A and B are shown apart, each in its own frame.
Chain A
Amino acid sequence: MFIINCPYCGEREQSEFKAGGEAHIDRPKQPTELSDDQWAEYLFMRKNIKGIQFERWVHTHGCRKWFNVVRDTSNDNIKAVYKMGEKPPINNDKEFKS
């Protein structure tokens, strides 16, 4: 259990939220052009990173808004929170590695 700082409501317990998995997976622009391999990549294949992950959360029992979180999946420490459509405050994993 950890605390998530909802960009709209502030700090709340994680149990108020629902995780939406890996963020920044772009919806196919031309779905009819996609091969089976590309569909599998889009629908099923995930980085499932142990370490810094960019992910989506929704504040189910609050404002019900979606937003993005940067979290270290090896210890559940949250590094940053940013709204949908915003650029991630960190561009790559390396900035967190010490």
Chain B
Amino acid sequence: MKNKYSLFSLVKNAFSYHENWEKAWKDPEPKKEYDAVIVGGGGHGLATAYYLAKKHNIKNIAVVEKGWIGGGNTGRNTTIIRSNYLWDASAGLYDHALKIWEGLSQELNYNVMFSQRGVMNLAHNLQDVRDLKRRTHANRLNGIDAVYLNTEQVKKFCPIINTSPNIRYPVLGGTLQRRAGTARHDAVAWGYARGADKMGVDIIQNCEVKGIKRNGDTVEGIETTKGFIKTKKIGVVTAGHSSVIANMAGLRLPLESKPLQALVSEPVKPIIDTVVMSNAVHAYVSQSDKGELVIGAGTDDYISYSQKGSHDIVEGTLNAILELYPIFSRMRMLRQWGGIVDICPDASPIISKTSIKGLYFNCGWGTGGFKATPGSGDLFAHTIANDEPHKLNAAFNINRFISGDLVDEHGAAAVAH
């Protein structure tokens, strides 16, 4: 049984110079057979395993990860959490996640540093104003907190924004979701890993899936670099590599994998206490607890698995950042990186069964998966355990691309793609 993290355990471990903390999760070799195997040890995959064990009483679970947990997009995103999406289906999905975020640190007994500092989305032209007002109304009808701000209110909420009418894309207004914010992305992966491990889930790192074994239309197991693992249920949560796994099973998905970049500056004193996103000029920025500005850029338009994007994308983002925040003109950037995001044609995810029995996919989160981590895991676990979707993810099935019942969230996705 694992020790609970508390003030008491902190004091107790201080006496032994913090050298005797229990490992947060084991590093086991795979067993021959599991009741369910989750492919992908990112936030979504670990959360899926956690909720499968916790809410659906399936304890014999493995999470297989080709690298190390949280080393993919979980550790590469800009940590923004919000639920102000346009359509009812998306509002239900993302707000379900936001509600879990609000109690997640307590539930996991792990500080995920969830900070409801608000997220502001800016409007730079008349169409933006109309779209954002419409989205604000839609949000409020769905019980999601949202307010529309005019230019003065934007300036008041975030004083460093340049609201001059003379800039190329002047700030005409914006929306604010106060319950939105950020969280520490690594802590989310580690917290779920620790929670899942505690309930007996095997987290197997450095274990790459090489093939999916089928008997007709039913899965029998996975071939990995650590040998064959027998299982009746496979949940695939591999983000940018979803199509690669799907190809192993002979499936095609409506996805394109593209590089998405982010960068952080040198750390400075607190200067921006919220998250500001701009869809039109494509710049979003927040400040981490370490003091770095965390800046998100856009996707490249070509398919790539190289985990690096083009310089002109970063240049375009920084141009926009500088026009909106002239105060940052002397800042130096510290690090820049890319992740591979799997984008659906309607900018909404897929949390679904497939035509192969026992094979489930949770993918297509594109540029905005981090915010949904707890809800995605919860709903995917429900889908895997019951072989039926939960009502909140029923609309996000893979057959919507056949029926045409798409959930078009390009406007709310906030990253142009």
Contacts and interface: CB of A to CB of B under 8 A. Distances in A.
A50 B244 contact: yes
B255 A40 contact: no
Interface residues of A, number: 28
Contacts of A44: 254, 345, 401
Nearest to A1: B310
A75 B302 CA distance: 12
A44 B403 CA distance: 12
A76 B305 CA distance: 8
A40 B401 contact: yes
B302 A15 contact: no
A48 to B, nearest CB: 4
Contacts of B247: 47, 49
B332 interface: no
Contacts of A28: none
Contacts of A48: 243, 253, 255-257, 303, 342
B312 A15 contact: yes
B126 to A, nearest CB: 26
Given A41-B252, A46-B243, A50-B244, A74 B306 contact: yes
A57 B178 CA distance: 42
Interface in B96-116: none
B305 A47 contact: no
Nearest to A77: B306
The 6 closest A-B pairs by CB, nearest first: A19-B302, A48-B243, A44-B254, A45-B252, A15-B312, A1-B310
Interface of A: 1, 14-15, 18-19, 21-22, 36-37, 39-41, 43-50, 53, 55, 57, 71, 73-76
12 contacts: A1-B310, A1-B312, A40-B402, A44-B345, A44-B401, A46-B254, A49-B303, A50-B257, A55-B303, A57-B302, A73-B303, A73-B304
